[in-house]
Structure 1
């Protein structure tokens, strides 16, 4: 891990904790395990002010490119659940993939359990996208 721990901006940290607490019932074990793992990782996360956030850390609205160890590549924008739109490559932070990448940085390798099995993912690109309101919508 590039920075030794997940890094989150203060407001996004609070929003993410709230979303995780509200997400409640899990229909599959993989999603439940993903939520529990992220909650555990948040306990040791570095929480920073907006102006101290590194540009290469995955956060709300970041455009992310990942490559799996078996050669699969995917790019998406990480968004709140209300903004999720598969056809526009906007992925909710509450999906297993969203839960896996939040707070990691470009160059990090993430070993995560997905519904289809364990995958090793490498973050190859992170681009920060500023929204009109620059706020997270719930």
Structure 2
């Protein structure tokens, strides 16, 4: 896997696709650009099984540590729904940062923020929060 290639496990891909399909039926102006970017990312993503997904790829429920060049760093958990934004340390995949991180790998650099002053963040660490039993439960839904 090359740096900045996008990879997703199949159940994550399907779950995100369902959310995006729901959002195309109403006008969500607050998230429009992010959702459009996420749709485009999905078109360029390699989808694979959980056993084929390399360690270090950001997936749903992953805890991801990012750092800026200035030395600022933080750890976030990438969640599927908006309620993740309401809990400390959790971000929705529909947020600008969540959409930028999903499918990326340790060492990748993502740009977030305003177009005229983006913040460059490097992915330093990824910890998967789900185990195979939870994954099987997700696949059965």
TM over 0.5: yes
1:116 Cα deviation after fit: 9.3
Q: Map Cα deviations across residues 82-135 of structure 1 (whole Å, 9 max, x no partner).
A: 652644422221111111100000010112345995221110110111267335
What residue number does 2:134 align with?
Answer: 133
Q: What SS does the corresponding residue of 2:134 show, helix, strand or coil?
A: coil
What's the TM-score, normalizing by structure 1?
0.81
Q: Map Cα deviations across residues 13-54 of structure 1 (whole Å, 9 max, x no partner).
A: 1111111222342233xx322221221121121110111011
What's the TM-score, normalizing by structure 2?
0.79
Separation in 2 of the partners of 1:63 and 1:22? Answer: 26
Gaps in structure 2 of 5+ consecutive residues? none
Query: Is 1:2–1:108's contact at 8 Å kept on the other side of the alignment?
Result: no
What residue number does 1:111 align with?
Answer: 111
Gaps in structure 1 of 5+ consecutive residues? none
Q: Map Cα deviations across residues 43-95 of structure 1 (whole Å, 9 max, x no partner).
A: 12111011101110000111101113443322111112165264442222111
What residue number does 1:33 align with?
Answer: 33
What residue number does 2:55 align with?
Answer: 55
CA shift in 2, pair 1:46/1:122, >3 Å: same
Separation in 2 of the partners of 1:116 and 1:76? Answer: 24
Separation in 2 of the partners of 1:117 and 1:20? Answer: 27
Q: What SS does the corresponding residue of 1:106 show, helix, strand or coil?
A: coil
Root-mean-square deviation (CA, aligned residues, Å) is 2.7
Q: What SS does the corresponding residue of 2:51 show, helix, strand or coil?
A: helix
Kindly tell me the number of residue pairs found equivalent between the two proteins. Answer: 135
1:74-93 to 2 correspondence within 5 Å? Answer: 74-81=74-81, 84=84, 86-93=86-93
